[in-house]
Amino acid sequence: MKKLLSFALCTMLLFSLAACSGNQTATSGEGESSTPSSHVAETSSAPSEPPESAEETENSAETSEETVSETGGTLIAYFSWSGNTEAMANLIQQETGGDLFEITPATPYTDDYNELLDIAQQEQDENARPELAFQVENWDSYDTMFVGYPDWWSDAPMLVYTFLESYDWTGKTLIPFCTSGGSGFGRSLNNLEASASGASILNGLHVQGDDVENSAGEISDWISRLGLN
């Protein structure tokens, strides 16, 4: 009888151990599966870049086209001390629709005419290149350049040569214009070619300083003969 009772107790104990082992296995299984599940959730929540729409692609193409600089423009660059050359530049601008640019020295010239003559003579003797105050920012957008100046001692002011030598003139068209008391271009036309290497230089126009205000017709005829259009 005792043997039967012991056998029964052993059997019951074995079933109890088996049941506990099964519960532990299930609990462990849930713990292992929770980690991969959390990892998958984190991966799927990572932001992804949406594909570029057709409209965005078109806008990008338009932006790229807008950044390409246009060429073929006309620039009217001039240095004027008394105002005569500036007046002539304005008349040329009215005929061509070009952009105006004033060639300005970093150190302004004196307002005294006699003192100015001495300075101009000294700059020529030294073949000086006075510093410019400003530069043309969009040089490559221009193909045609009118360059104007007063005649100083039968030559262009040395500041004008500083301007010419500051840029690449390859493939550009240079058209000089000049004002003076009567000496014309002097020797400046020969010097322009050396300072604007690579430029095609067309026939320029000289106007007496006192006649600039009445030179609109002469300027119009000159520009027409250049055949720029």
CA torsion 214-216-218-222 (nearest 10°) is 150
pLDDT for the residue 147: 98
- Secondary structure letter of residue 207 according to DSSP: E
- Give residue-wise pLDDT tens across range 160-180: 999 999 999 999 999 999 999
pLDDT for the residue 70: 63
Is 14 a residue whose pLDDT tops 70? Answer: no
CATH topology of domain 72-226: Rossmann fold (3.40.50)
Q: Where are the domains of the chain?
A: 72-226
Give every CB contact of residue 87 below 8 A, 6+ residues apart in sequence.
Answer: 80, 212, 213
pTM (2 decimals)? 0.70
- Give residue-wise pLDDT tens across range 45-99: 333 444 445 444 444 444 333 333 466 899 999 999 999 999 999 999 999 999 9
| Alpha-carbon gap, residue 180 to 85, rounded angstroms | 9
| Higher per-residue pLDDT: 124 or 36 | 124
At residue 116, the 3 state secondary structure works out as helix
